[in-house]
Amino acid sequence: MQTETFENERWERGSQSEEFRHREALRLIEGDSVLDLGCGDGLFLSLISDSNIRRYGVDISPVAIARLKERGLEGEVCNFSEDTLPFADNAFASVVSLDVMEHLFFPERLLTEALRVSSECVVISVPNFGSLPARVAVMFGRVPENNRPKKGHCYWFTLSVLRAMVERSGGQVVFLRVNTFWERRPVIGSFMSALAEYFPSVFGLSFVAVIRKREM
What are the residue boundaries of the structural domains of the chain, listed by start?
Answer: 2-128+153-181+206-213
Average pLDDT over residues 32-61: 95
Higher confidence at residue 12 or residue 108? Answer: 108
- Alpha helix (H) residue ranges in 35-158: 43-47, 62-70, 107-117, 132-139
Report residue 142's pLDDT band, with 50, 70 and 90 as the boundaries.
confident
Higher confidence at residue 194 or residue 37? Answer: 37
Cβ(129)–Cβ(158) below 8 Å: yes
Higher confidence at residue 125 or residue 139? Answer: 125
Q: What is the pLDDT of residue 156?
A: 83
Q: pTM of the full predicted structure?
A: 0.86
Model confidence at 39: pLDDT above 50? yes
CA 149 to chain centre: 18
Parallel, antiparallel, or unpaired for β 92-98 and 33-37? parallel
* CA angle centred on 209, ends 147 and 42, rounded to 5°: 70
Average pLDDT over residues 85-110: 94
Length of the chain: 216
Sequence-distant (≥ 6) Cβ neighbours of residue 59 within 8 angstroms = 7, 38, 39, 40, 65, 68, 75, 77, 78
**Rounded distance between C-alpha atoms, residue 81 and residue 122, angstroms:** 17
Average pLDDT over residues 86-102: 96
Superfamily of domain 2-128+153-181+206-213: Vaccinia Virus protein VP39 (3.40.50.150)
